[in-house]
Structures are given as C-alpha cells and as structure tokens.
Amino acid sequence: MTEKQSFFQKVFGSGKKGEKEPTPQEAIQRLREIEEMLMKKSDFLEKKVDSELATAKKNGTKNKRVALQALKRKKRYEKQLQQIDGTLSTIEFQRECLENASTNTEVLKAMGSAAKALKKAHNNMDVDKVHDLMDDVAEQQEIANEISDAISNPVGFNTDMDEDDLMAELEELEQEELDEKLIDVGPISDNLPSVPTTEPVASRRVPVAAAEDDDELKELEAWAS
C-alpha cells in the first residue's frame, strides 16, 4: 500500500465491509482539517529549508561535509514541499467537487420534496370540480350584479317612458307659456289721434300763389300786344 493510498484511506475510510461511509459534509470537514494540517507542515518545511540553506552557506568554505549534508537535507525538504503542494491541490479539487455535489444533492432533495408536495396538492384536487366551482362563482357573480342593478334603480320611477308623449307634453307647456305672454300684453287702446278735417296751411297757400302767377302772365300778354 502506497503512502498516497494510505492518506486517502485515512480521509475517506478503508472501505471495509460494514464500515459506515462518511456523509459528504463529514468528508468535506475532514478534508478541511487535512488541508490545515498540511499547510502547517508546509510552513515548518519551508523554515527547515531556509535553515539548511543558511547552514550550507555558513560551512561552505569551512566544512564542506557539513555543508553538503545540509544541502542534502534541504533537497529532501524541498521534495516534501512539492509533494505537499500536489496533495493540497488534489485535496482542494476534491473538496470543491464534494461541495458542489453536496449542494446539488440538497437542491435535488428540495426539488423532489417540492414535486411531491405539488403532486399531493394536485391529487387532492379534481379538475372537473374546479371547473364546476368556477362556474358557480361566475353564476353567483352574475346574480350579485343583477341584485346591485335592481337595488340601484329608484322605486316607482318608470325609465321606459314614451319619448313622443314627453315631446307632446313639452309642446303643451310651451303653448301655455306663449298664451300667458299674449295675455300680459293687454287689449289695443282706442285713444288714437283723430283724422284732421281742415286742409293744411301749405296746401291752402298753393292756390293763392298760382293765382298771382296767372295775373302777372295776363299783364305781360297785354303789354306785349
């Protein structure tokens, strides 16, 4: 059994028969714990790399054997760091997949529950009964409208009067008003001015003037002869 296989068995279990499998939430939580542990180990190895590098530099010219041993340990630490980085990438990818799967599972559960509830609600409904109910509602609404119209009409007021009768009555009223105006004018007065019996002064003068003209004409004719 390899180290990597042993690691994932620790995370997800050995898969032995009868062993309880972790839920997605439990697996996600376990992966987060492993990520945190590996991050701490990575920080520790980085410090060890820096320490071994400092030792190699310090003994490079004084003690080459110590410097070479320090560089060898540094290389091992760096290799472990690379392995941890790869493992962290794998764990991160696996955790994201589990989180997405868990979310999808919850969504599907909710949708399944909603579908069951909707089906149950529809099973309690009869389509024919629904149509009958709506017909009853429409009928009752129509009755209510008729009742409202009946209540709103004034009692004893006939709205279907003949228009010709109304016009005839109006003409009678107009004629009565015209007769009343003629009565208010009163009889024609008899005190009119009398016709003059004497001839106007101007007409009396005309014959006098004509006579004088005739006398002058006669005198002129006598003188001429």
- The average confidence (pLDDT) of the chain is 79
CA 207 vs. chain centroid, Å, equals 110
Q: What is the pLDDT of residues 141-166, one digit of tens each?
A: 999 998 888 887 766 555 556 777 77
Mean pLDDT of 43-56: 93
Element (H, E) at 57: helix 24-58
Residue 168: how many other CB atoms lie within 10 Å? 11
Whose tokens are 């340990």? That residue is 73
Whose tokens are 């091992």? That residue is 76
Mean pLDDT of 56-78: 90
Question: Would you state the pLDDT for residue 153?
Answer: 72
DSSP 3-state assignment of 37? helix
Question: Would you state the pLDDT for residue 202?
Answer: 47
Q: What is the pLDDT of residues 79-128, one digit of tens each?
A: 999 999 999 999 999 999 999 988 898 899 899 999 988 888 888 777 88
The beta-strand segments (E) located in the chain are: none
pTM attached to this predicted model: 0.44
Q: Which domains does the chain have, with CATH numbers?
A: 25-123 (1.10.287.1060)
